[in-house]
Amino acid sequence: MTTTLITGANKGIGHETARQLIAAGHTVYIGARDAERGRRAAEELGARFVQLDVTDDASVEAAAQRIEADGGLDVLVNNAGIESRNADNSVPTARTVTADQMRNTFETNVFGVVRVLHAFLPLLERSAAPVVVNVSSGLASLTALSDPDHPAHFYPGIAYPTSKTAVNMLTVQFAKALPALRINSVEPGFTKTDLNGNTGTQTVEQGAEIIVRMAQIGPDGPTGGYFDVNGRLAW
């Protein structure tokens, strides 16, 4: 039985990823900051709940100890993420973004990934087929955002794409350092969730597809890559 932890999984793409992986036979832990929402989601899906705030060392360490005591971990999905939005649902731009907004975004989207990876690495290294899926974004691609003909070029925000580009670099460097693990970044697509004020054009079922696919790769699967449902993406 494959045991999987998904951070930020009480709603949105994380919740749908949990549903699909449970259907595929995984034992899934729903990681969530809010205990009530997390337990409710876990009960609804037939998952296990673990309280986990990726911005808090003690919370992450406690979650790792709990999952270790339960038997270990095979797959880690770093899904928890935030995007700064103004009151009108617009994003802070180059002229308006603040250092505090950048710092807040990086605390969850980047430092949270490092914090969780370090805490769960000892468990993953005991697995016969350890996998890490870092949920990135198409907005992380320097190639796409610098191309005037690419649909992502229009996006004016700073904090979110910068943080996800950093996640891609974490994927590259951790994959090189930990060759026994399969570590990849994925782009779910522009999915309708609370993250973007429900303005996305895809369903959560569509958004979860590439995450679920990459969570199930074997020891001979790719590592250190950046993928969407159609294949590899340009960094």
Catalytic center residues:
160, 164
CB-based contacts of 148, cutoff 8 Å, min separation 6: none
CB-based contacts of 176, cutoff 8 Å, min separation 6: 224
Cα gap 162→198, rounded to integer Å: 21
What are the Cα distances from residue 134, in Å, to 44, 88, 99, 185? 25, 29, 24, 5
Q: Decide: 83 and 159 in contact? Cβ < 8 Å.
A: yes
Q: Which two tokens stand for residue 6?
A: 């998904």
Up-side HSE of residue 196: CA atoms within 13 Å toward CB?
19
Residue 198, φ and ψ in degrees, nearest 5: 55, 35
The partner residues of 29 in beta bridges, in order of sequence, read 5, 48
**Where does residue 8 fall: left (phi above 0), alpha (psi -120 to 50 degrees), or beta otherwise?**
left
